[in-house]
Structure 1
Amino acid sequence: MFKPLIFFIGLRYTRAKRRTRFISFIALTSVLGLALGVTALITVLSVMNGFEEELRERILGMASHASISGPDGKLRDWHSLEPTLRQEPRIQGWAPYIETQAMLNADRRVSGSLIRGILPGMEPEVSAVAQRLIQGRLEALKPGGFGIVLGVELASYLGVVIGDPITVIAPEINGAAGGILPRIKRFTVVGVFQVGMYEFDRNLALIHLDDAAQLHHMEGAVSGLRLRLDDVFHAQQVAHELGPKLGDHYTLADWTLEHGNFFQAVQTEKRVMFIILLLIVAVAAFNIVSTLVMVVTDKRPDIAILRTQGMTPEGIMGIFIVLGSLIGLFGTLLGTVGGVLLALNVDRVVPAIERLLGVQFLSGDVYYITELPSKLLWSDVAVITGIAFLLSVLATLYPARQASRIQPAEALRYE
């Protein structure tokens, strides 16, 4: 049952008299420490959420959410799968591809690369490469034109620009009278894209699907179909449900098989960072213990008088639980407001600090992501706020229990 007297006395103890200003100062530092810890925890988790989302968009903007291929790595009747794919509402697009490794040569420079044959008209349905082009157009890939689009890092390493020739050395080999020779074909650079991920910018090249089929002797067949889903987190479920509909002659895979370990590592790092910063919040919360111990020592005569007036030990304990909980509540709310405001304005605060200090935290020469992204999740805010306040309440139990054990006769002996 709510007892207004206990709450009133606990609230009154939060206001300092002249002789207890030092205790109030300690309480203020506890509030500020808790607020700073909560602010830091909300802000850091929001930034890590932003990085995770940015990486997911960049990686899954180029990689397929799911893919369909044949048992021998070739898909010869991909057009026949379209009616089945249209019946699945979670599949928003698909496109055929031919993918293999090759060597690229340009003016004495050689680099290994992943060659992906695509249909320019269908590729935007499954990837964001059309929006990532910084030179040229995806439509410049014409069947029989032998054009090639390179990642910006790959183009820089080979020293080529639009219009330059480049030699593709395919791994397929042909038996000949003079021996076994690799298949070599001359292409022309027609575009350059920049994803902001080394995996793609340095190691990926795009050509037309018909040119890839001719280069690798796959006329009438493709490596598979790339699928784009409405929710990437449902990829495993969609692949599992789509398998029986297609039959045993097809192999389905999803993005978690290739990139799942990377995102699991990001999640692990996020959990570790949460625990580390939570220790800061815990230290600030348990500063309340020292504050309440000093208050209990200072209020021993008051506690004795309240006991002689008939207040129970449970009532005394409740007063100091209320006092410590109010300190924790003020600190938690202050930190929550500060953390939410900072997380929502990271894109403004960080550039202002960079201009003030004359530095750049994420240099474009070193990092692919040059701005701190932030994504505030209210579920994170609720968890952080709840844990911080719970720690504050737990910190009040020991001092409150000690206060409830004070004997009135001993406390008033020298008063």
Structure 2
Amino acid sequence: MFRPLSLFIGLRYTRAKRRNHFISFISMTSMIGLALGVLAMILVLSVMNGFQKEMSSRILGMVPHATLSAEQPLDDWQAVAAAALKHPQVIAAAPFSELEGMLSYKGTMQPIQINGVDPQQEPKVSIITEHMVAGRLDDLVAGEFGIVIGEITARRFGLQVGDKLALIIPELSSMPGGITPRMQRLNVVGVFKVGAELDSSLALIHVADAGNLQHLQPGQVQSVRLALQDLYQAPQVSAALAAQLGASYRANDWTHSQGSLFGAMQMEKTMIGLLLLLIVAVAAFNIIATLIMVVADKGADIAILRTLGATPGQVMAVFMVQGTVIGVVGTLVGGVLGVLAALNVSALVGWLEQASGQQVLSSDVYFINNLPADLQALDVLLICGAAFTLSFLATLYPSWRAAQIQPAEALRYE
């Protein structure tokens, strides 16, 4: 079968056993380094994607994707919810109130964010019912001032279901200080654990009890909480709904409260990806060194090819093919191993924990007790594409040097 001269010779050089075994060693090192770099990038970025997905599902499953409120408390939240549900991105809506205060128990105090929820509607917009470790959300009854607290808060105070604690809320007043504390006794009816910071900073009460603490009229709520199909569309969707409802309505979304956290996670992923790319860059430099030594070793062969009529472009293509083969093989091997490692990293870590008797991720220290991985095809394509591009660029200078060899000079001492 006909093959171009440059491709034929380049592939032959790649397969041939060289007289200089050191060149072969450097070539193999370049290939292995490239494969390890691609493997490391795919594995690390997949694990970081897994952590980000896990944190997103836990944190953003508890905090509102978006809320709609007005200048005055909402008298008919059902009408607002019905209008919001007409938007294709909105999958559920529920009444919602929030306030901040201090929890006090036997002289110990802790700041807390209180969410007022409807136990019947909340499971539509939150994952709270899936993470209850004691009690039930339905035990929140209007007028009884029950509270559902996080597992870290319960452990810090030594609380169990049935215990009572005090909630201290600051209120504006006409007193000289301007602010007076208001105390409300609460009964612990449930404990949740989502495995995130929310376990220590969030608590839930009935939306009617929250309205009582905020001096709202019966039936009034502070806002309507929305759950969206694509939570990353929350700013646009909530703003559009607020504009549709009227000038007195305003929108809020999760990017205001949690955006910095996920922005930092994305920046961390980007920086680690760039640092790991240096491994691939080092392997690409090894390809340059390999080809330069091959060009020096094959000087006589190049001169003979030129004498037989090969053009500088054909000579250049010979070594570009040879370097590209190294890059393609290293990238493919690293890509396959990286995908396999990312798909099995959780099982591998579990096996290591079982074999060593040590837990890598303890639930007492970290928010999760396993090593999640989320393999994304786009990441794999970008990593393999970057590795191949660097390896291809690494072939240009040595190939150009080979094309500049003059036959008479190369054959003078042969």
Q: Which moved more, 1:107-116 or 1:349-358?
A: 349-358
Counterpart AA for 2:246: G
Q: 2:289, 2:377 → 1: CA distance?
A: 32
Secondary structure, aligned partner of 2:353: helix
Deviations 1:211-243 (A, max 9, x none): 222233212321211100010011112122212
Secondary structure, aligned partner of 1:13: helix
Number of equivalent positions: 410
CA drift of 1:67 comes to 0.3
Q: 1:173, 1:299 → 2: CA distance?
A: 87
Q: 1:100, 1:82 → 2: CA distance?
A: 21
Q: Which moved more, 1:180-189 or 1:18-27?
A: 180-189
Counterpart residue number, 1:51 = 51
Relative to structure 1, the CA distance from residue 383 to residue 173 in structure 2 (aligned partners, 3 Å threshold; closer, same or farther) is closer
- Length-normalised TM-score, structure 2: 0.94
Q: Which moved more, 1:310-319 or 1:100-109?
A: 100-109
Secondary structure, aligned partner of 1:339: helix
Counterpart residue number, 1:78 = 77
Secondary structure, aligned partner of 2:290: helix
Could you tell me which of 201, 211, 217 is aligned with 2:209? 211
Secondary structure, aligned partner of 1:392: helix
CA drift of 1:141 comes to 0.9
Relative to structure 1, the CA distance from residue 105 to residue 229 in structure 2 (aligned partners, 3 Å threshold; closer, same or farther) is same
Counterpart residue number, 1:264 = 263
Secondary structure, aligned partner of 2:162: coil
Counterpart residue number, 2:158 = 159
Counterpart AA for 1:366: V
Secondary structure, aligned partner of 1:278: helix
Q: Is residue 34 of structure 1 aligned with residue 7 of structure 2?
A: no
Counterpart residue number, 1:222 = 221
| Contact 1:304–1:412 (8 Å) recurs in 2 | yes
Equivalences for residues 92-241 of structure 1 within 5 A:
92-172=91-171, 182-198=181-197, 200-220=198-218, 221-241=220-240
Counterpart AA for 2:201: N
Relative to structure 1, the CA distance from residue 403 to residue 181 in structure 2 (aligned partners, 3 Å threshold; closer, same or farther) is closer
Q: 1:42, 1:414 → 2: CA distance?
A: 49
Secondary structure, aligned partner of 2:148: strand
| Contact 2:125–2:227 (8 Å) recurs in 1 | yes
Q: 1:377, 1:231 → 2: CA distance?
A: 18
Deviations 1:9-52 (A, max 9, x none): 10111124262333222111110000000110111111111111
Relative to structure 1, the CA distance from residue 180 to residue 33 in structure 2 (aligned partners, 3 Å threshold; closer, same or farther) is closer
Q: 1:349, 1:305 → 2: CA distance?
A: 54
| Contact 1:69–1:223 (8 Å) recurs in 2 | yes
Counterpart residue number, 2:347 = 348
Counterpart AA for 1:410: E
Counterpart residue number, 2:69 = 69
Q: 1:127, 1:164 → 2: CA distance?
A: 25
Relative to structure 1, the CA distance from residue 98 to residue 243 in structure 2 (aligned partners, 3 Å threshold; closer, same or farther) is closer
Q: 2:185, 2:46 → 1: CA distance?
A: 48
Counterpart residue number, 2:305 = 306
Relative to structure 1, the CA distance from residue 306 to residue 175 in structure 2 (aligned partners, 3 Å threshold; closer, same or farther) is closer
Q: 1:116, 1:4 → 2: CA distance?
A: 72
| Contact 2:5–2:314 (8 Å) recurs in 1 | no
Q: 2:27, 2:185 → 1: CA distance?
A: 75
Counterpart residue number, 1:381 = 380
Secondary structure, aligned partner of 2:133: strand
Relative to structure 1, the CA distance from residue 71 to residue 13 in structure 2 (aligned partners, 3 Å threshold; closer, same or farther) is same
Secondary structure, aligned partner of 1:148: strand
| Contact 1:289–1:396 (8 Å) recurs in 2 | yes
Relative to structure 1, the CA distance from residue 11 to residue 192 in structure 2 (aligned partners, 3 Å threshold; closer, same or farther) is same
Q: 2:43, 2:214 → 1: CA distance?
A: 51
Q: Which moved more, 1:389-398 or 1:361-370?
A: 361-370
Deviations 1:128-174 (A, max 9, x none): 11111111111111122222111111111121101112222332377
Relative to structure 1, the CA distance from residue 122 to residue 98 in structure 2 (aligned partners, 3 Å threshold; closer, same or farther) is same
CA drift of 1:126 comes to 1.1
| Contact 2:96–2:116 (8 Å) recurs in 1 | yes
| Contact 1:68–1:226 (8 Å) recurs in 2 | yes
Counterpart residue number, 2:324 = 325
CA drift of 1:180 comes to 8.9
Counterpart residue number, 2:9 = 9
Deviations 1:191-227 (A, max 9, x none): 10011112x1112111112222223321232121110
Counterpart residue number, 2:293 = 294
What CA RMSD, in Å, does the superposition of the two structures yield over aligned residues?
Answer: 2.0
| Contact 2:239–2:250 (8 Å) recurs in 1 | no
Deviations 1:316-353 (A, max 9, x none): 11100000000111001111111111111111122223
Q: 2:325, 2:381 → 1: CA distance?
A: 18
Q: 1:175, 1:28 → 2: CA distance?
A: 81
Q: Percent identity?
A: 51
Relative to structure 1, the CA distance from residue 237 to residue 121 in structure 2 (aligned partners, 3 Å threshold; closer, same or farther) is same
| Contact 2:11–2:322 (8 Å) recurs in 1 | yes
Q: 1:297, 1:236 → 2: CA distance?
A: 61
Q: 1:266, 1:280 → 2: CA distance?
A: 22
Secondary structure, aligned partner of 1:363: coil
Secondary structure, aligned partner of 1:373: coil
| Contact 1:317–1:400 (8 Å) recurs in 2 | yes
Q: 1:329, 1:408 → 2: CA distance?
A: 31
Q: 2:18, 2:318 → 1: CA distance?
A: 21
Counterpart AA for 1:404: A
Counterpart AA for 1:151: G
| Contact 2:234–2:254 (8 Å) recurs in 1 | yes
Counterpart residue number, 2:242 = 243
Relative to structure 1, the CA distance from residue 336 to residue 317 in structure 2 (aligned partners, 3 Å threshold; closer, same or farther) is same
Secondary structure, aligned partner of 2:367: coil
